[in-house]
Amino acid sequence: MKLVTFAGPPSSGKTAVLLKTLAHLQREGRKVGIVKFDCLASQDAERFRAAGIPALTGLSGNFCPDHYFITNIEDCAAWGRKQGLDLLVSESAGLCNRCAPHIRGHLAVCVLDHLAGVHTPRKIGPMLKTADVVLVTKGDIVSQAEREVFAFRVRQVNAKARLLFVNGITGQGSWEVSRLLDAAPDNAPLTGGKLRFSVPSAVCSYCLGETEIGEDHQHGTVRKIQIEEANHV
Amino acid sequence: MSEVTTVGRSVLARDSAHEPQDGNGSPASRLLHTEDAAAEPSFTDPRCDEFLLLNKLPSRAAHRTLRAWWEAQSWDFRAESGWDFERLVDGLAAFLGANASMGQGATLCTLEIRRGRDKSGNPEQFDLIFKPGDVVCLVGPTGAGKSRFLGDIECLAQGDTPTGRTVLIDGQPPAAESRFTGEGKIVAQITQNMNFVMDLPVAEFLKMHAESRALAAPESAMQRVLEAAIRMAGEPFGPETPLTQLSGGQSRALMIADAAFLSPKPVVLIDEIENAGVDRIRALEFFVDQGKIVLLSTHDPLLALSGARRLVIRHGAVQQVIEPTAQEIANRDRIAALDRKLARLRERIRLGERLDEPWAELVGETLP
Q: Evaluate whether residue B90 is within a structural domain.
A: yes
Q: Evaluate whether residue B54 is within a structural domain.
A: yes
What integer pLDDT is reported at residue B154 of this predicted model?
85
Task: For chain B, positions 117-136, list CB contacts with chain A under 8 A.
Answer: none
What integer pLDDT is reported at residue A230 of this predicted model?
63
Whether the per-residue pLDDT at B20 is higher than 90: the answer is no
What integer pLDDT is reported at residue B276 of this predicted model?
64
What integer pLDDT is reported at residue B10 of this predicted model?
36
Q: Evaluate whether residue B81 is within a structural domain.
A: yes
Which residue of B lies nearest to A139 if distances are taken between CA atoms? B194
Rounded to whole angstroms, the Cα distance separating B322 from A166 reads: 33
Rounded to whole angstroms, the Cα distance separating B4 from A186 reads: 16
Give residue-wise pLDDT tens across range B183-221. Answer: 777 888 888 888 888 889 999 999 888 888 877 778 888
Give residue-wise pLDDT tens across range A150-203. Answer: 998 998 888 888 899 998 888 888 888 998 999 999 988 888 888 888 776 667
For domain A2-182, give the CATH number: 3.40.50.300
Greater confidence, B367 or A7? A7
Run of H or E residues at B129: strand B128-130
Residue in B34, B94, B180 nearest the CB of A179: B180
Chain A / chain B CB contacts < 8 angstroms: 151
Give residue-wise pLDDT tens across range A201-224. Answer: 667 777 777 888 888 888 877 777
Contacts of A179 in chain B (CB under 8 A): 7-8, 11, 180
B181 touches chain A (CB under 8 A): yes
What integer pLDDT is reported at residue A232 of this predicted model?
58
Residue in B28, B32, B259 nearest the CB of A144: B259
Q: Region A40-57: what's the mean pLDDT?
A: 89
Phi/psi at B321 (5° precision): -120, 115
B197 touches chain A (CB under 8 A): yes
Contacts of B4 in chain A (CB under 8 A): 28-30
Give residue-wise pLDDT tens across range B29-73. Answer: 467 766 565 678 888 887 888 888 877 788 888 888 888 888 888
**DSSP assignment, residue B27?**
G
Beta pairing class for A162-165 and B111-114:
unpaired
Of the candidates B228, B232, B256, B254, the one whose C-alpha atom is nearest the C-alpha of residue B241 is B254
Domain count along chain B? 2
Mean pLDDT, rounded, of chain B: 81
**Domain limit, last residue, from B39, B63, B94:** B94
Of the candidates A208, A203, A200, A189, the one whose C-alpha atom is nearest the C-alpha of residue A73 is A189
**Domain limit, last residue, from B26, B60, B94:** B94
Task: For chain B, positions 146-175, list CB contacts with chain A under 8 A.
Answer: 151, 154-155, 160-161
Q: The whole model's pTM is what?
A: 0.79
**Domain limit, last residue, from B77, B94, B111:** B94
Cβ–Cβ gap A148/B212 under 8 Å? yes
Phi/psi at B76 (5° precision): -55, -45
Q: Region B142-146: what's the mean pLDDT?
A: 89
Distance (Å) from the C-alpha of residue A164 to the closest C-alpha of chain B? 4
B5 touches chain A (CB under 8 A): no
Q: Evaluate whether residue B301 is within a structural domain.
A: no
Task: For chain A, positions 20-59, list CB contacts with chain B under 8 A.
Answer: 28-30
Does this complex have an ipTM over 0.85? Answer: no
Residue in B82, B98, B181 nearest the CB of A156: B98
Give residue-wise pLDDT tens across range B149-179. Answer: 988 898 888 888 889 999 999 999 988 777 7
Q: Where are the domains of chain A?
A: 2-182
Q: What percent of chain B has pLDDT over 70?
A: 86
B33 touches chain A (CB under 8 A): yes
Contact indicator for A72, A58 with CB cutoff of 8 Å: yes
Q: Residue B335 in 3-state DSSP? A: helix
What integer pLDDT is reported at residue B118 of this predicted model?
92
Q: What percent of chain B has pLDDT over 90?
A: 32
Of the candidates B289, B239, B94, B154, the one whose C-alpha atom is nearest the C-alpha of residue A144 is B154
Q: Region B94-119: what's the mean pLDDT?
A: 76
Cβ–Cβ gap A183/B31 under 8 Å? yes
Tell me how far apart the terminal alpha carbons of chain A are, to the nearest angstrom: 67
- Taking phi first (over 0 means left), then psi (-120 to 50 degrees means alpha), and beta for anything else, what does residue A185 get? beta
Residues B36-45: contacts with CB under 8 Å, at least 24 apart? B37/B86, B37/B89, B38/B89, B38/B90, B38/B93, B39/B89, B39/B93, B40/B65, B40/B66, B40/B67, B40/B89, B41/B66, B41/B89, B41/B92, B41/B93, B41/B96, B42/B96, B43/B68, B43/B69, B43/B92, B45/B96
Give residue-wise pLDDT tens across range A54-64. Answer: 999 988 887 77
Residue in B93, B198, B262 nearest the CB of A117: B198
Residue in A141, A142, A148 nearest the CB of B263: A148
Give residue-wise pLDDT tens across range A95-149. Answer: 666 778 899 999 999 999 998 888 888 888 888 988 999 999 998 888 888 988 9
Cβ–Cβ gap B183/A151 under 8 Å? yes
Query: Which domain range does residue B89 map to?
Result: 47-94
Cβ–Cβ gap A131/B4 under 8 Å? no
Q: Evaluate whether residue B185 is within a structural domain.
A: no
